Structures are given as structure tokens and as C-alpha cells.
Copies of this chain bind each other. A is one copy, B any other.
Amino acid sequence: MLFAEYRRLILLTEGALGVFSSKTATSVIRYRRDDVVAVVDSQAAGQSLEQILGIGQGIPIVADVAEAMRFKPDALMIGVAPVGGGLPAAMRIPVVDALREGLSIISGLHLRLRDDPELAALAEAHGAALCDVRDPGPVRRVAFGLARSLPVKRVLTVGTDCSSGKMVTSLELRAAAIRAGLDAAFVATGQTGAMIEGWGTAIDAVVSDFAAGSAEMLIERVHDRQICFVEGQGSIEHPGYSGVTLSLLHGVCPDAMIMCTCPTRQYHDKRDDCPIAPIEQQIQLYESLTAPLHPACVVGVAANTAGLDDAEANRRIAALAERTNLPACDPIRNGVAPLLAAVRAELHI
């Protein structure tokens, strides 16, 4: 059974439930609402998921796996993506409990659950599967700009920081493009995107020499589609993840880019010694880095204004549009119509 085939999921967020702190869970609830039967989080048990995340109305938050079993789940999905990618200590007990109940575990952690002897033994004893979605397998492909020669048009989301809405923007653009009659694909480049879409590669888990090559291979899978919206990763100035970002940029060879940003954020990962460079400077960097291989422009700005009231959000979005001289909107708050229009104008489709 492939990980995408489980249809009665428990999402485990133990102690981390929140729009950003459990972004995997947030996105799975947003895009696979009907496949989620419960959230397990002892710190938030009994509260309203909709009040915490703004989505997920009617999905119960329970304290532990035992309580979640009455919703007849078929798998437990780990709903966080912590820095470093290890299994958070607080999540070990619920994972063990789930395995003892025979539930399969779907994980996007860097740590491979099947390399954990205790978990592997429990899974075998109880007939459960350990699905390590982030494991890219033994890929060994070096990129040489081959994506440029494929007929599919490629739109990459890039960002001023990680967790700025790149996956959501790509998914919303794909949906809007299909509604507009285009033959549009979504290309997942991270574990959450793959959990939602059922296929993809977590580029950040690929050996760095082959990260761009893996991206190139993903584009080959959609080569005969009209347009694809590729989920970006990290940020070109992020001290830890910039290499992943650039591998993706050169592996995908986008025809157009959408810049995603959280306008209230000033620092990478809340570290006040890692300032986020001004958005117009970053747009110039992304464009400079595409120029020799396959020139592409940033054609719109997607603002993640979660947590702001409408007036403040609109003020921030207007300021971004003025600074960048590009169409700007919040894909969740406003939809993506201005961004799709900018993409279509740029690509003549």
C-alpha cells in the first residue's frame, strides 16, 4: 500500500499544533481534509481545530492514540517538520502506541523510521508499515539544464524565507489553472507536498550533488503537460537551506517565478542575527541566478498574511506591490487570480 492510499489519517502534532509550528498537519488538513479523522495533541486536546488553524472544522483534537482509535484510523501521520528532521521526543510514545494498534506510520522526517530498531521491530510484529516519505531512494543524477528543452512550461515558487507559503501558492495556482481550462500539474519537491499529491521527491533529502538532478527528473515526469507549478524550497539567503533552493532553481529551469513572502517577518528562523534581505534585492538575486542557464523573471508576489486583520493585510500587500512593481496578493485570503494572470501573460498561454 502506497502512503498516498491511506484514507483515515490521525495527524500527530503533540505539543506543536499551530499554523507554522505544525505546517505539515496544517497543509494536509487544508488539501486532504476528507482523509483526516483526528489530530492527536495532548496540549490542545478538546480545543477547536478551526480556532487554532482557521481550517479543519469538525476534526476532533484528542489527547492520545487510544482515544483516536474510535475514529477507525488506518495510519498515523507525523504532522511536523522540525529543524534537523529528528523524531521529537514527545512524539515517540504516540508513535509506539500507534504501531501497537497496527497503524502504519507516515513520516516526512529526515530520520528514517525504519532505521530505528525499536520502531522497525514493532512494525513487523504488528503488521504495520513505516512509510518514510522523505527518503529519495538511491538517485545519482547530475543536472545539466535538460528541463529547458521539455515542452512543459515551468513556474517555480521562490521565497524570501522558508515557511512562507511556496507549496500552498503552487497548489492554489494549479487549482486555478485547471479551473481556467489549462492542463496543469503540481510538482511536489518536499515531503508535505508529496503526502498531499501522492508523488514527488523531498529535494532537501537528496545528496547535494544530485539535488538539482532530482528536480530535473521530477520535471521529466510532467514533460507532456501544458504547465506545471513547482513547489519551491527554502530561500536563496537562508543560512542553512540556500543550497537546496539553488539546486531547485537550476534543476527546474523555470520559465517564470512567483515570489512568496511573509511581510511581517524580519529574520530567518527567528534568529535576530540572520536578517531577511529586502524582497526587491532577493528578486534580483533569483533572476541573476537564472540568467546564464535559462533567464526567468519573478512575475508576481504571494504574501502570507496569516494572523493579520484584513485592513493590515491589505496595507502590507499594497506596499509589496508598490515596492516590487508586481501584482501581489495573499493566495489564501484573496485567491491567486492576479498571479495566474501574470503567469499566463508572461508565458503567452
A residues near B (Cβ < 8 Å) are: 83-86, 110-111, 140-145, 148, 203-209, 211-213, 236-251, 268-269, 271, 273-277, 281, 285, 288-289, 291-293
Contacts and interface: CB of A to CB of B under 8 A. Distances in A.
Given A83-B142, A291-B277, A293-B274, A212 B239 contact: yes
Contact of A274 (B83, B144, B239): B144
A254 to B, nearest CB: 13
A292 B266 CA distance: 12
Nearest to A203: B208
Contact of A144 (B144, B269, B277): B269
Contacts of A211: 208, 243
Given A209-B240, A242-B247, A285-B289, 18 more contacts: A84-B140, A84-B142, A143-B240, A144-B268, A144-B274, A204-B208, A207-B208, A208-B243, A212-B242, A213-B240, A236-B246, A236-B289, A240-B250, A243-B243, A243-B246, A243-B250, A285-B285, A288-B288
B208 A244 contact: yes
Contacts of A144: 239-240, 268-269, 271, 274
Contacts of A212: 239-243
Contact of A243 (B205, B244, B288): B244
Given A273-B145, A285-B289, A292-B275, A209 B244 contact: yes
Contacts of A206: 207-208
B209 A207 contact: no
- Integer count of this chain's copies in the complex: 2
A83 B142 CA distance: 7
Contacts of A207: 110, 204-208
A29 to B, nearest CB: 25
Contacts of A250: 237-240, 242-243
14 contacts: A85-B209, A144-B274, A145-B239, A203-B208, A204-B207, A205-B208, A207-B208, A211-B243, A212-B241, A236-B246, A239-B293, A242-B289, A243-B244, A243-B250
Contact of A140 (B110, B141, B291): B110
A324 to B, nearest CB: 18
Contacts of A247: 208, 242-243
B292 A237 contact: yes
B237 A242 contact: no
Contacts of A213: 240
A247 B247 CA distance: 10
A24 to B, nearest CB: 15
Contacts of A84: 140-142
Contacts of A291: 277
Nearest to A247: B243
A86 B209 CA distance: 13
Nearest to A85: B140
Given A84-B142, A140-B110, A288-B285, A293 B244 contact: no
Nearest to A275: B292
Contacts of A246: 236, 242-243, 245-246
A97 B6 CA distance: 50
Contacts of A281: 288
